[in-house]
C-alpha cells in the first residue's frame, strides 16, 4: 500500500509514518508547510509528482482543497482524520465521497468507536439522567470541543426522544435545565485525549470514559482504515463499516 500523507510533519503525521514503517506500508510523500524529514514533502496538490494508492490526512481543514484535488486527480480513496470542518467543508467531503471512497472518523480508535456504539442504548435506557460530556486534550489542540466529543454527542442524541439543548461550558447564573447536555473542553500539557460521558441520576452516576494513552492507536487505526478502503466503491465510510468488516 503506497500512502500519501497530508500533514506528514505534524504529531499524527509522524505517528502514522512510524506505524506504517513497522507495518510494512510505504509512505511515498506528503503535503505540509513544514519541509523536513526523509520523504518528499510538497506544498500543494499541483506540485505532487508521486503516485500512491491512498491518501491519509491528519492536518487542518485548510488543506481540504488539496486533499480533494489529489483524490480526484489520482482517482484514489482518502482517509480524512482531520477534525474541525465547518458545514460547507463537510458538504465538500460528502460530495467527494460520491466519486471516490472516503473514510471519515473524528476518532480512528477502536475503543472510542465501541463506546460510541453503546451510547444510544445507554441514553435511551437512562431516561431522566442528566448528561454531560467532558473531553481533555493537549495544549496545542486547535478545535474545541473535540471532533470525538461531537461524535459521542451525536451517538447520545440517537437514543433521545427530543433534541437536547447543548450548553458549551457554564459561567455565572446558569442553573441546569432538564434536557440540556453540557459539553466541556479541558486543554493542557501533553494529554493525548480523554473523553467522558457522564449520566448523572438521583443518587447514582454512570461514567463511560475512554483514555488514549498514545497517538499510536489513531495512527494504526488510520492505516487499517486505508487498507479497508482500497478497492471499495465510492461512498462515505466510517469505523462502523470497518467493524462490520
Ligand atoms: N481522527 C482521529 O483519530 C484523530 C486523532 C488525532 C488527531 N486528529 C486530528 O488530526 C489533525 C492533526 O492533528 P495533529 O495533532 O497531528 O496536529 P499538528 O498540528 O501536530 O499537525 C498538523 C500538520 O498539518 C500541517 N499543516 C497545517 N496547515 C497546513 C497547510 N495549509 N498546508 C499543509 N500542511 C499544513 C502542519 O504543518 C502540521 O505539520 C487535527 O485536526 C486533529 O484534531 C484526529
pLDDT tens across the length of the chain (245 residues): 999 999 999 999 999 999 999 888 999 999 999 999 999 999 999 999 999 999 999 999 999 999 999 999 999 999 999 999 999 999 999 999 999 999 999 899 999 999 999 999 999 999 999 999 999 999 999 999 999 999 999 999 999 999 999 999 999 999 999 999 999 999 999 999 999 999 999 999 999 999 999 999 999 999 999 999 999 999 999 988 998 87
Task: Examine the domain organization and report whether 33 and 149 are in the same domain.
Answer: no
Q: Which three cell numbers stand for residue 238?
A: 466510517
Give the atom of ligand 1 at the shortest distance from the alpha carbon of 66.
32
Alpha-carbon gap, residue 81 to 229, rounded angstroms: 14
Q: Whole domain around residue 33: which residue ranges?
A: 2-108+216-244
This prediction's pTM: 0.91
For residue 12 and ligand 1, the question of a CB distance below 6 A is answered with yes
Query: Where residue 60 sits, what CATH number does that domain have?
Result: 3.40.50.720
Residues present in the chain in total: 245
For residue 198, CA distances in Å to 34, 98, 148, 181, 203 come to 40, 37, 15, 10, 13
> What is the domain count for the chain?
2
Q: In this structure, are strands 130-137 and 193-200 parallel, antiparallel, or unpaired?
A: antiparallel
Scanning the chain, the segments in alpha helix (DSSP H) are 11-23, 64-74, 87-96, 110-125, 147-158, 216-229, 239-244
Write the DSSP assignment of 223-242 as a string of letters. HHHHHHHTTPPSEEE-HHHH
Instruction: Report how far ligand 1's centroid is from the alpha carbon of 215 (Å).
Output: 12
**What pLDDT score does 177 carry?**
94
Alpha-carbon gap, residue 209 to 78, rounded angstroms: 29
The answer to whether 115 and 210 have CB atoms below 8 angstroms apart is yes
Instruction: Report how far ligand 1's centroid is from the alpha carbon of 128 (Å).
Output: 38
Task: Examine the domain organization and report whether 182 and 226 are in the same domain.
Answer: no
Active site residues per annotation? 137, 141
Task: Examine the domain organization and report whether 65 and 25 are in the same domain.
Answer: yes
For residue 174 and ligand 1, the question of a CB distance below 6 A is answered with no
**What pLDDT score does 243 carry?**
83
For residue 145 and ligand 1, the question of a CB distance below 6 A is answered with no
Task: Examine the domain organization and report whether 103 and 8 are in the same domain.
Answer: yes
Query: Where residue 184 sits, what CATH number does that domain have?
Result: 3.30.360.10
Task: Examine the domain organization and report whether 207 and 237 are in the same domain.
Answer: no
With 0-12 CB in 10 A as exposed, 13-18 as middle and 19+ as buried, what is 159?
Answer: middle
Task: Examine the domain organization and report whether 104 and 69 are in the same domain.
Answer: yes
Q: Write phi, then psi, for 109 (nearest 5 degrees).
A: -85, 135
Give the atom of ligand 1 at the shortest distance from the alpha carbon of 222.
3
Amino acid at each position: 500500500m503506497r500512502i500519501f500523507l497530508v500533514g506528514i510533519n505534524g504529531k499524527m503525521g509522524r505517528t502514522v509514518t512510524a506505524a506504517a514503517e513497522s507495518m510494512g506500508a510505504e509512505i511515498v510523500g506528503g503535503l505540509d508547510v513544514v519541509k523536513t524529514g526523509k520523504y518528499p514533502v510538497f506544498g500543494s496538490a499541483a506540485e505532487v509528482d508521486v503516485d500512491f494508492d491512498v491518501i491519509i490526512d491528519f492536518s487542518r481543514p485548510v488543506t481540504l482543497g488539496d486533499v480533494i484535488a489529489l483524490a480526484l486527480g489520482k482517482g484514489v480513496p482518502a482517509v480524512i482524520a482531520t477534525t474541525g470542518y465547518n458545514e460547507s467543508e463537510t458538504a465538500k467531503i460528502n460530495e467527494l465521497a460520491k466519486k471516490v471512497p472516503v473514510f471519515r472518523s473524528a476518532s480512528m480508535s477502536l475503543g472510542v468507536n465501541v463506546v460510541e456504539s453503546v451510547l444510544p442504548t445507554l441514553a435511551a435506557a437512562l431516561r431522566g439522567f442528566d448528561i454531560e460530556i467532558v473531553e481533555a486534550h493537549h495544549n496545542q489542540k486547535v478545535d474545541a470541543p473535540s471532533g470525538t466529543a461531537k461524535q459521542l454527542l451525536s451517538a447520545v442524541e440517537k437514543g433521545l426522544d427530543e433534541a437536547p439543548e447543548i450548553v458549551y461550558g457554564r459561567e455565572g447564573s446558569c442553573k441546569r435545565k432538564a434536557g440540556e447536555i453540557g459539553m466541556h473542553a479541558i486543554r493542557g500539557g501533553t494529554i493525548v485525549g480523554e473523553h467522558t460521558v457522564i449520566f448523572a441520576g438521583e443518587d447514582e452516576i454512570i461514567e463511560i470514559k475512554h483514555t488514549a494513552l498514545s497517538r499510536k492507536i489513531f495512527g494504526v487505526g488510520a492505516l487499517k482504515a486505508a487498507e479497508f478502503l482500497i478497492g471499495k466503491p465510492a461512498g462515505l465510510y466510517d469505523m462502523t463499516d470497518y467493524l462490520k468488516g
